[in-house]
């Protein structure tokens, strides 16, 4: 049953933990943005510049990897895929509500995570519809 859980739930939970633990003052959106952009480490580049990597960058990187695996999962035609699509839709609604209503979630980082969750939902439903259409075509021939 764990296979039915959307993998994008992991970066959403990590974002919630990072942002909600970092919000102590009244100005939530600015504090959340500062927490996400604060560099964890810096990588020197051959151009002489330094690439500063923050928590938000790492969360987005992990979310992109999870999106890749979610897209691979959406191509399966198992019965558990329907549960996965439903849970992905619920996750999208929760993310959208957080983005619109909670100050610390009105950041570009979380917006991109919301877009990834939406793409997962759309890909799941589109793949399911295309697979159902092919099954119907084979059955009628």
pLDDT digits (tens, 9 = 90+) for 41-87: 999 999 999 999 999 999 999 999 999 999 888 877 677 888 888 99
Instruction: Please report, for the chain, the start and end positions of each structural domain, with discontinuous segments joined by +.
Output: 2-140
- pLDDT at position 79: 79
CB 105 within 8 Å of CB 35: no
pLDDT greater than 60 at residue 134: yes
Distance CA 122, CA 116 (A): 10
Sign of CA dihedral 12, 105, 18, 45: positive
Q: H helices of 38-79, where?
A: 55-74
- pLDDT at position 76: 73
- pLDDT at position 27: 62
CB 92 within 8 Å of CB 132: no
The number of residues making up the chain comes to 141
pLDDT greater than 80 at residue 131: no
pLDDT digits (tens, 9 = 90+) for 3-47: 789 999 999 999 999 888 876 555 666 678 888 888 999 999 999
pLDDT digits (tens, 9 = 90+) for 83-120: 888 999 999 999 999 999 988 898 899 999 999 999 99
Predicted model pTM: 0.84
Distance CA 12, CA 31 (A): 18
């Amino acid at each position: 049953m764990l296979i039915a859980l959307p993998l994008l739930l992991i970066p959403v939970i990590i974002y919630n933990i990072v942002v909600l633990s970092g919000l102590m003052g009244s100005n939530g959106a600015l504090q959340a943005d500062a927490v996400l952009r604060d560099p964890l480490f810096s990588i020197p580049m051959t151009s002489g510049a330094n690439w500063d990597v923050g928590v938000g960058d790492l969360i987005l990187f992990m979310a992109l990897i999870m999106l890749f695996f979610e897209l691979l999962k959406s191509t399966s035609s198992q019965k558990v895929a329907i549960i996965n699509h439903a849970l992905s839709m619920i996750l999208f609604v929760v993310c959208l509500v957080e983005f619109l209503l909670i100050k610390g979630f009105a950041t570009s980082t979380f917006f991109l995570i919301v877009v990834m969750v939406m793409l997962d939902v759309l890909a799941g439903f589109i793949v399911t519809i295309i697979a159902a259409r092919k099954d119907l075509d084979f059955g009628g021939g």
